[in-house]
Amino acid sequence: MKQLSKMLMAGLILMIAGTVQAQYKGPGANNKSFTVKEVTQQASKLDRSDTLVKLQGFIVQQINGDTYWFQDATGKIKIEIEKNDLPAEPFDEKSEVIITGEVDYDLLEGTEIEVEHIEIKTS
């Protein structure tokens, strides 16, 4: 009887431990959608927590090699996109995009989003 209860207890522990798994945190995960205004208002907190943010809007101008202006209805923010993270299909300032990335907040330099994924929104 003791051996049966030990086996049941071990099985229960294995079942509980088996349900604890790592979660996917990359693009497409349940990232909350933000506006530019929300990101700028919460920039320090979002930077400290390494929260991935998702924004929908337009990349309206290239500032230099990998820095761009992103704009939605609530404002404009700098974003940084590495060449290997740019989408394969061409896009311009009229192409609506969904970006996912990490907020980089610096008191002197302002707020920027380091883009990890771009999706061109199709109609």
Q: Is 85 inside a domain boundary?
A: yes
pLDDT attached to residue 22: 45
Short-list 84, 82, 56, CA closest to 70: 56
CATH for 55: 2.40.50.200
- Predicted pLDDT at 122: 81
Around Cβ 120, how many Cβ atoms within 10 Å? Answer: 13
Containing domain of residue 71, as a range?
26-120
Token pair recorded at residue 54? 């998702």
pLDDT surpassing 60 at residue 11: no
Residue 13 included in any domain: no
Tell me whether residue 21 is in a domain. Answer: no
58's CB contacts (< 8 A; 6+ apart) are 70, 71, 72, 93, 94, 95, 96, 97
The total of structural domains in the chain comes to: 1
Distance CA 37, CA 3 (A): 61
Q: Is residue 112 part of a domain?
A: yes
| Residue 96 falls inside a structural domain | yes
Please indicate, yes or no, if residue 18 is contained in any of the structural domains. no
57-75 pLDDT, tens digit per residue, is: 999 999 999 999 999 999 9
Q: Is residue 39 part of a domain?
A: yes
Does residue 7 register a pLDDT over 70? no
Spatial separation of the C-alpha atoms in residues 123 and 100, rounded to whole Å: 19
pLDDT band, very low/low/confident/very high, at 25 (cuts 50, 70, 90): low
Helix, strand, or coil (residue 3): helix
In a domain, 19, yes or no: no
Give the pLDDT score at 18: 44
Q: Residue 32 has what pLDDT?
A: 78
Cα–Cα distance, 103 to 96 (Å, whole number): 20
What is the residue-wise DSSP string for 41-98?
HTHHHHHHHT-EEEEEEEEEEEEETTEEEEEETTEEEEEE--GGGS-SS---TTSEEE
Q: 65-114 pLDDT, tens per residue?
A: 999 999 999 999 999 999 999 998 999 999 999 999 999 999 898 999 99
pLDDT tens across 42-51, in order? 999 999 998 8
